[in-house]
């Protein structure tokens, strides 16, 4: 029951499917986003200037938020903690198959994550939007230097879901070496991406990393302690 209603990464979105005659991604030609997420991230760095974890916050659009929470009770004007917890569990379980839509690379190698922690969902009555927050720990953190910076992107490979930073400076820094680190965000121009796509991108059945072309890249570098 919950999976059919809340399975974000599984693409089980009956309301959207009514418009698409099926919510399954069939190729980049149909890859305009149908769910929109505002993104905030926090990079955790230790005293050696290593990126040890990333906290990700997704603020879902009003349409998806209303759909996901439809039918749930709001005693006292807020949703029950147990219902929000159940929604979190289902979404995190489904997202595991997609590596939580998060990619971190350093020195050309893709980092591996441990089990996500501190996952929770919150509701903002004023904005009418649902937020999912979770933290991913890196299994093998390394110093984020100018020569080998840590780069991370958060995106849906199929571009069914658009995940964009609220502002360019929304990567927060936390941890012992936060004052020695900087994080810069490069946001691609969506119109330029569309107009420069190769013809192969519009072939059905290809482009499993289609969403990567639209993803913002955050680059983290840290100075070593003197």
Q: pLDDT tens digits for 134-158?
A: 999 999 999 999 999 999 999 998 8
- What's the CA gap between 46 and 50, in Å, rounded? 6
pLDDT at 89: 93
The model's pLDDT over 157-188, given as tens digits with 9 standing for 90+, comes to: 888 899 999 876 678 999 999 999 999 999 88
- Residues 67-84, buried b or exposed e (16+ Cβ, 10 A)? bbbeeeeeeeeebeeebb
**Which residues, listed in sequence order, are joined to residue 35 by a DSSP beta bridge?**
161
How many residues make up the chain in this entry?
226
Domains in the chain and their CATH numbers?
2-222 (2.70.170)
The model's pLDDT over 210-225, given as tens digits with 9 standing for 90+, comes to: 888 889 999 999 998 7
Nearest to 213 by CA among 188, 182, 191: 188
- What's the CA gap between 190 and 152, in Å, rounded? 19
- What's the CA gap between 112 and 137, in Å, rounded? 8
């Amino acid at each position: 029951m919950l999976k059919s209603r809340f399975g974000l990464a599984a693409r089980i979105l009956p309301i959207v499917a009514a418009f698409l005659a099926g919510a399954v991604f069939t190729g980049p030609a149909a890859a305009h986003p149908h769910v929109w997420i505002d993104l905030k991230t926090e990079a955790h760095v230790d005293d050696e200037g290593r990126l040890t974890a990333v906290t990700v916050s997704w603020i879902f659009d009003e349409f998806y938020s209303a759909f996901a929470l439809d039918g749930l009770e709001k005693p006292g004007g807020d949703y029950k903690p147990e219902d929000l917890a159940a929604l979190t569990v289902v979404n995190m379980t489904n997202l595991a198959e997609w590596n939580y839509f998060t990619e971190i690379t350093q020195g050309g190698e893709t980092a591996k994550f441990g089990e996500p922690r501190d996952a929770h969902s919150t509701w903002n009555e004023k904005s009418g939007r649902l937020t999912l927050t979770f933290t991913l720990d890196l299994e093998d953190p390394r110093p984020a230097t100018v020569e080998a910076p840590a780069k991370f992107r958060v995106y849906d490979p199929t571009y069914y879901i658009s995940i964009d930073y609220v502002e360019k400076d929304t990567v927060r820094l936390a941890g012992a070496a936060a004052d020695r680190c900087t994080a810069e965000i490069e946001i691609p121009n969506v119109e330029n991406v569309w107009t420069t796509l190769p013809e192969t991108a519009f072939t059905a059945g290809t482009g499993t990393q289609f969403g990567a072309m639209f993803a913002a890249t955050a680059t983290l570098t840290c100075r070593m302690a003197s």
